[in-house]
């Protein structure tokens, strides 16, 4: 029988144990994301998959705020994060630290997510963009590559929190596969 687990049966770890765990070599960069709910969701997904750090850039709201907390459910206390005024400067800084930068966007030469190969032994930063305008062209230009989520319907657009969940899940599978 498939009996649902109780909260105590989930074997959740505490904040300090989370902080000590080895993180996956992935950084998330939010490029002028407006919605606090989207930011909170990205924190929660990043906690679930042991993401190294989140950079909140430009107008992206930052904790503490109840609308972020509503969807983050405490993940702002576990996942390392930093607010930066400029996405471009953040990308440049990450490059000097050895990160390979990938924007999540639709471009002429994008790599479909299912075709993407996680660069073995490398650290990557994934940039998610604004809900209306996506990742800025300047950031796309600074990226080593662009990853696109294959879509088959009429909209060809996903909410950023949904995109983050799909991309992070797929990257973790490729990293550990």
Instruction: Give residue 36's pLDDT.
Output: 97
How would residue 176 be classed by pLDDT, with cut points 50, 70 and 90? confident
pLDDT at 87: 98
* 32 pLDDT above the threshold of 90: yes
Percent above pLDDT 90 for the chain:
86
Task: Pick the closest to residue 90 from 39, 36, 47, 28 (CA basis).
Answer: 28
pLDDT over 90 (residue 1): no
User: Is residue 131's pLDDT more than 90?
Assistant: yes
pLDDT given for residue 125 in this prediction = 98
Average pLDDT over residues 132-160: 95
Contact 46, 63 (CB under 8 A): no
Checking DSSP bridges between strand 123-129 and strand 99-104, what pairing results, if any? parallel
Instruction: Give the distance, in angstroms, between the CA of residue 55 and the centroid of all CA atoms in the same chain.
Output: 9
Domains of the chain: 21-149+159-176 (3.40.1280.10)
> How confident is the model over 45-67, as a mean pLDDT?
97
Average of per-residue pLDDT values in the chain: 95
Number of H helices, E strands in the chain: 6, 7
- For residue 13, the model assigns a pLDDT of 87
- 3-state SS assignment for residue 85: coil
User: What is the total residue count of the chain?
Assistant: 177
């Amino acid at each position: 029988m498939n009996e649902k687990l109780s909260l105590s049966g989930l074997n959740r770890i505490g904040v300090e144990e989370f902080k000590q765990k080895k993180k996956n070599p992935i950084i998330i960069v939010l490029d002028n994301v407006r919605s606090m709910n989207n930011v909170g969701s990205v924190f929660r997904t990043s906690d679930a998959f042991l993401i190294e750090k989140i950079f909140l850039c430009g107008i992206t709201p930052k904790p503490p705020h109840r609308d972020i907390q509503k969807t983050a459910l405490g993940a702002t206390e576990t996942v390392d994060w930093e607010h930066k005024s400029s996405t471009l400067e953040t990308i440049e800084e990450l490059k000097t630290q050895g990160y390979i930068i990938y924007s999540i966007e639709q471009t002429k030469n994008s790599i479909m997510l299912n075709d993407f190969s996680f660069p073995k032994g490398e650290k990557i930063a994934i940039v998610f963009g604004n809900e209306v305008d996506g990742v800025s062209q300047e950031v796309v230009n600074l990226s080593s590559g662009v990853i696109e989520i294959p879509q088959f319907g009429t909209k060809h657009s996903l909410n950023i929190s949904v995109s983050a969940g799909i991309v992070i899940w797929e990257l973790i599978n490729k990293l550990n596969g």
